Amino acid sequence: MSSSSPSSPQPKRPLSILQRSINRKVAVRLKSEIEYKGRMNNVDSYMNLILTDAEEFNGNDVMANYGKVVIRGNNVLFIRLEKDI
């Protein structure tokens, strides 16, 4: 049995990281293998996302450009924070 000491690092919480990353660029891969890239405008406790200036990708091909996209959290496979340039 192991106990955590007060000096041990806190576990990372994905939702907290996402909430602190509002207005950053993200890539969101859906379970359907479609990927969206854009600026994360909002995220809620269900990990529903709102992206602005979003692009839809299928592989490396841009399929469509959108002003705003709402993505339901239960369709998300992963969310990757992009490096801002």
Of the pLDDT bands very low, low, confident and very high (cuts 50, 70, 90), residue 6 is: low
β-partners of residue 66 are 54
pLDDT tens per residue across span 22-56: 999 999 999 999 999 999 999 999 999 999 999 99
Strand bridging mode 35-43 / 49-58? antiparallel
Residue 16 has pLDDT above 70, yes or no: yes
Distance between CA atoms of 80 and 66, rounded to whole angstroms?
Answer: 19
What count of Cα atoms within 13 Å lies in the side-chain half-sphere of residue 4? 6
Residue 2 has pLDDT above 70, yes or no: no
Structure tokens at 71: 């993505």
Q: Give the DSSP H or E segment for 57.
A: strand 49-58
Average pLDDT over residues 63-70: 96
Residue 4 has pLDDT above 80, yes or no: no
